Structure 1
């Protein structure tokens, strides 16, 4: 008996050979089935699902961006003008957060506070046909943003129109004033002139409805054209010298008038004083004579002696020489040896 299982049977051998291989293949496939099932259980990538999510997120971000881009803030010192298709529909002047319609409305910012506009120099003719160069400035502000945007379109255009009005009024007003009155601070009308210019310019701005207001117009400096500056300076010097000479002449005349009045008053005072002194002296002499008369009337003999002695004082001096008899009463009086009765009797004789 042969030890080979397929001995003598070739068909059986071939069937057995290929059958074993198919069986092994089936076993291998059976062994790999669980792995295939495990792979199928993992989540698969779905492009449609993630594409929709990305679109939704993009739309949300775009909406938020559009909303943020159309929010605007109004500050305390500014206006926000809202325009729709170029036409002004409203403006905001209260501080806060506001929103405009996207893609349709636009916002323009205008200042709310006072502004200073430095104007360009301009040559103007005065009443006495003198040419001067005026350099001034204006203080102004926006009062109606809607009118400004509608009629002037921008701040630059509004300032340009304001400057035209100011120089127009300046030419008219300064053309009615002489050159000396403009440059002379003592006789200058600049205070009232600024008020007149401001009032008239505001009237013109309100007529054209530019939505701005001029608060004040001031002349910063007045210069002369170079070609006539030297001649004007010489004329000014000559005028000042004439004025100075006039003041000196008036001062001398006033001095002479004061001196003459003073001398006259002094002479009047001296004459009055002399008159009063003479009256006082006359009254004093009269009173003295009265007293003398009263005194001498009480003793006539003494008065006679006194009068005699007074004549001695007038007739006898240091160099006087008198030749009289020694026994005469006059000599005795001089010698002082006579009694009173003898003296009186001698004098009476």
Structure 2
């Protein structure tokens, strides 16, 4: 009975030794895993088309631009990823007043990119803050520029005497961004939509209809005036051409009659007796018809020729 209460110290010591070994192995594995996690969590993988901005205590210490691997100091340095490519930002709608006192709603968009990541992080901190500042500048310049133009110059940019409105706005936005050193550049600012406020649409529509009707009537009046002018000019030319033709005809007729008389004279001068007989016969056409009564001596040459007698 006494032997059953005796504890084997050798077995107990062996068991404790094994547990200590497991704990030690577990700690080694944990430390190894922690090291692996630390290494990979502080590994910087730079991809194509992005910047990696490494900061230490809030200050930018370096910029990784080339694709590849890099490393940061654990727990001290942090990394921010910024895009290299062009980005599109949809600017909020804004209501402005034109030079001719018309209210209109402008909807713009901007194409931009990060040019200097260090300045962008130092002054704007985040992409969202950079876009906010860019939008404020765009709104300020758009309101200023469009306030100097009439409504029709805005909706028809080619009518503007100030050059391309979009190019001017883009240049001035970039100037303001550069002055404040935000490290971003705007490639283009474009108006994608111009609308009138709802309460103004009907009145403007009515006025536009009235203007179009007035313009149509003006065109009709101009057309009628041009038509009358062309008709008058044509009638004048026709009369002038007829007068010239009549004069030419009279000249030709006179020349023809003169030439005929010459030919007659030349022909009749060769036989005067034939000419006398021809003239007598011609006179019969004018003096004798179905009711003509002539009283002539029988020996009259006129009567003899009429009755068919000749001197021959």
Matched with 1:158 is 130
Relative to structure 1, the CA distance from residue 177 to residue 225 in structure 2 (aligned partners, 3 Å threshold; closer, same or farther) is same
Deviation by residue 1:262-284 (Cα, 9 ceiling, x = unmatched) = 22222222222222222222222
Match of 1:67 among 39, 46, 50: 39
Q: What are the ranges of 5 or more consecutive residues in structure 1 without an aligned counterpart? A: 1-38, 342-349
Residue 144 of structure 1 deviates from its aligned partner by 1.3
CA distance in 2, matches of 1:159, 1:190: 28
> Residues 81-131 of structure 1: CA distance to partner in whole angstroms, max 9, x if unpaired?
111121112222222222222222211111222221111111101111111
- Partner residue, 1:299: 271
Instruction: Give structure 2 stretches of 5+ with no counterpart.
Output: 1-10
Q: What is the distance in 1 between the residues matched to 2:157 and 2:171?
A: 23
TM-score (norm 2): 0.86
- Distance in 2 (alpha carbons) for counterparts of 1:81 and 1:115: 19
1:54: Cα distance to partner? 4.3
Q: Does 1:313 align with 2:307?
A: no
Distance in structure 2 (CA, Å) of the matches to 1:94 and 1:320: 132
**Hey, what does 1:289 align to over in structure 2?**
261
CA deviation string 1:281-320 (max 9, x = no partner):
2222222222222222222222222222222222233444
Give distance in 1, aligned partners of 2:44 and 2:291.
Answer: 132
Quote the Cα distance in structure 2 between the aligned partners of 1:189 and 1:76.
44
Q: Quote the residue 1:135 is aligned against.
A: 107
Bigger relative CO (Cα 8 Å, ≥ 6 apart): 2
Deviation for aligned residue 1:165: 0.9
Q: After superposition, what is the alpha-carbon deviation per residue over 1:188-214, rounded to whole angstroms, capped at 9, x for unaligned? A: 679711111111111111111111111
1:298/1:208 CA distance change after superposition, 3 Å: same
CA distance in 2, matches of 1:183, 1:173: 13
Structure 1 residue 259 displacement after superposition: 1.6
Instruction: Note closer, same or farther for the CA distance 1:207–1:185 as it changes in structure 2 (3 Å cut).
Output: closer
- Compare CA radii of gyration and give the structure with the larger one: 1
1:7 counterpart residue number? none
Contact 1:182/1:189 (8 A) holds in 2: no
C-alpha contact (below 8 Å) 1:139/1:216 kept by paired residues: yes
Tell me the TM-score normalized by structure 1.
Answer: 0.77
1:338 aligns with 2:310: yes
Answer yes or no: is the 8 Å Cα contact 2:280–2:302 preserved in 1.
no
**Aligned equivalents of 1:194 and 1:234: distance in 2?**
30
| SS of aligned partner of 2:112 | strand
Match of 1:242 among 214, 217, 222: 214
For the aligned residue pairs, the C-alpha RMSD in angstroms reads 2.6
Q: Does 1:222 align with 2:197?
A: no
Correspondence 1:9-158 to 2 at 5 A? 52-158=24-130
Question: Of 179, 186, 204, which residue of structure 2 is paired with 1:232?
Answer: 204
Count of paired positions: 299
Q: Which moved more, 1:223-232 or 1:116-125?
A: 223-232
SS in 2 for 1:138: strand
Cα distance in 1 between the residues matched to 2:279 and 2:101: 97
Q: Residue 237 and residue 187 in structure 1: after superposition, are their counterparts in 2 closer, same or farther (change >3 A)?
A: farther
Partner of 2:176: 204
Pair 1:155–1:189, CA change in 2 (3 A):
farther
